[in-house]
Amino acid sequence: MNLTVLAASGRTGLALTREALRRGHTVTAVARDPDRIAVPDSPHLHKVAGDVDDPASLAVAAGSTVLSGLGTDRAGVLLAGAKAVVAAGPQRIIWLGAYGTGKSAEVAGEAAGQLGTMLGDRLGDKVDADGTILAAGGTVFHAGLLTDGPESPGRRTVGLDAGPPLDFAAVISRATVAAAMLDEAETPRFAGTIALPLPE
């Protein structure tokens, strides 16, 4: 498959890029500074400078599949990115969100309120970005607290109806989330909905 990975220099974006290449896909890796995409050169890897504030720079081809590892500490970036990706007209969008926000808040339980407080004005940005992707038929992965480490051998992906309470003591590796997102790219199961990657 021809895949575009947004925020490919971030820790989640790097995990997505590595997993996609490991599975034999061709990857256009987009980052503000392509030199920070710490992945060995490959004939299947194309590094591109791009920024969500300049939609034309994102190198999203019509008919492609986009995987986003976009995260930010500044409100407005996620919604700008979501709008730019949707406007580019890819065939599929697989977007990373946060468990306990928006549509998953009720399922996540009491801890979702604490998460909302921690996110502050970024909460609305996350919810609006997710809504933009879902309205376009994309899949939004609501992951719990992310950590580095290997892919969980017992990992699985479920819908919101099977979501566990949000537990700040529980973590999921970026490698596990990346593998789940690539599974969805290869075999769509959650188009237009929220999916929850779980470590076991």
Please write the tens of the pLDDT for every residue from 65-104: 999 999 877 888 999 999 999 999 999 999 999 999 999 9
- Which pair of tokens denotes residue 6? 């947004």
- The predicted-structure confidence for 52-62, as pLDDT tens digits, reads as follows 888 888 888 77
- The predicted-structure confidence for 101-147, as pLDDT tens digits, reads as follows 999 999 999 988 988 888 888 899 999 999 999 999 999 999 999 99
- Which pair of tokens denotes residue 200? 């076991």
Helical (H) or strand (E) element with 147? strand 145-147
The b-or-e profile of 43-80 (16+ CB within 10 A means b, else e) is eebebbebbbeebeebbbeeebbbbbbbbbeebbbbbb
- The predicted-structure confidence for 27-53, as pLDDT tens digits, reads as follows 999 999 999 999 999 999 999 999 988
Q: What is the pTM of this model?
A: 0.95
- Taking CA atoms, 175 is separated from 40, 53, 150, 164, 180, in Å, by 17, 27, 6, 20, 9
Name every residue whose Cβ is closer than 8 Å to that of residue 192 and which is 6 or more positions away in sequence. 134, 137, 138, 139
The DSSP letter of residue 155 is -
DSSP string, 107-140: HH-THHHHHHHHHTTHHHHHHHHHHHHHHTT-EE
Helical (H) or strand (E) element with 105? helix 105-108
- Using CA atoms, how far apart are residues 191 and 91, in angstroms rounded to an integer? 11
